Amino acid sequence: MTEGNFVDYVKMFVSSGNGGKGSSHLHREKFIEKGGPDGGDGGRGGHVIIKGNSNLWTLLHLKFKKHIKAGHGDHGGSSRSFGADGEDVYVEVPLGTVVRDTESNEILFEITEHNEEKIIAKGGKGGLGNWHFRTSTNQTPRYAQPGIPLEERHITLELKVLADVGLVGFPNAGKSTLLSVITSAKPKIADYEFTTLKPNLGIVQYRDFQTFVVADIPGIIEGAAEGRGLGHYFLRHIERNSILLFLIPADAVDIKKQYDILLDELRRYNPEMLDKDRMIAISKCDMLDDELKAELKAELDNELPIPYLFISSVAQQGLTELKDALWKMLNT
């Protein structure tokens, strides 16, 4: 998935269909002087339905669909003929999509399962024909119900990526490189900050044909919760991850301090993020010889409150151990 094809935020206007009006027809036939009421009911207006699709990873297909309208219900006819229902319109979205009311910013619902359906704009009910209003004292009603009007609203679709592991780190920590090595993803990699501008997903092929999904988001800097750098715009993509993998380079001045800064940014964005399982990967460890690594390990054993591993994506060091540790945490 290329950066230009990743769309995770879409606004649109949705409108259901009007209900058809009931018929006030009176039966007329040769040799039948007063046939009485025989007006049929109007058809239901079409719904606008949000539907989950596990084969979608982005909202790109909805980027230019700003107006979604369902069909109107047909009017009732003579001989108690019912009007046809309006055509329902399905809006397929990837799993992890949050639907908000644009005006109130209220979360209406979330789509998390394949083929899950939620009505976002309900079609109007069809009106009753005059057949329903006949009584012993009113044998020729000349009126019928109108259909119920349509519903319309402005909605916002926000995608929160559903992944098992989320990569968290400062710019240039090696997140994209790690993703490219342990998965088949091809993220943009370059020697400057904020190379990653859009989230990337990759599937890790584990033993016995088992897999898990890893998400890489743009680098976080201190003050991201206040909007610095790329801000907290992409932090929602790791809200649903089971594990947060913090990537900190081995040449960092203070590894513990970097971890604390990253953790504090997540806490300020959403305190519930601290309830997730966490692990630290010390990246770029190919720059360390055995003696430096032993010294750093002795120091980190006393400082870091969570498990950590030494890895090198370029030198392919510690990656198997990292996969094993992540798989164990996912299945514990």
Write out the binding residues for Mg(2+).
176, 196
- Residue 56 sits at φ, ψ, to 5 deg, of -100, 145
- CB distance 99 to 110 below 8 Å: yes
Angle at 146 between CA 140 and CA 152, to 5 degrees: 170
Residue 321 half-sphere exposure toward CB, CA atoms < 13 A? 14
Per the annotation, binding residues are 169-176, 194-198, 216-219, 283-286, 312-314
- CB distance 56 to 8 below 8 Å: no
Query: Which helix (DSSP H) or strand (DSSP E) does residue 277 occupy?
Result: strand 277-283
Using only C-alpha atoms, what is the Rg of the chain?
29
Query: Which helix (DSSP H) or strand (DSSP E) does residue 107 occupy?
Result: strand 107-111
- What is the rounded CA–CA span in Å between residue 49 and residue 70? 9
Per the annotation, binding residues for GTP are 169-176, 194-198, 216-219, 283-286, 312-314
- Residue 323 sits at φ, ψ, to 5 deg, of -60, -45
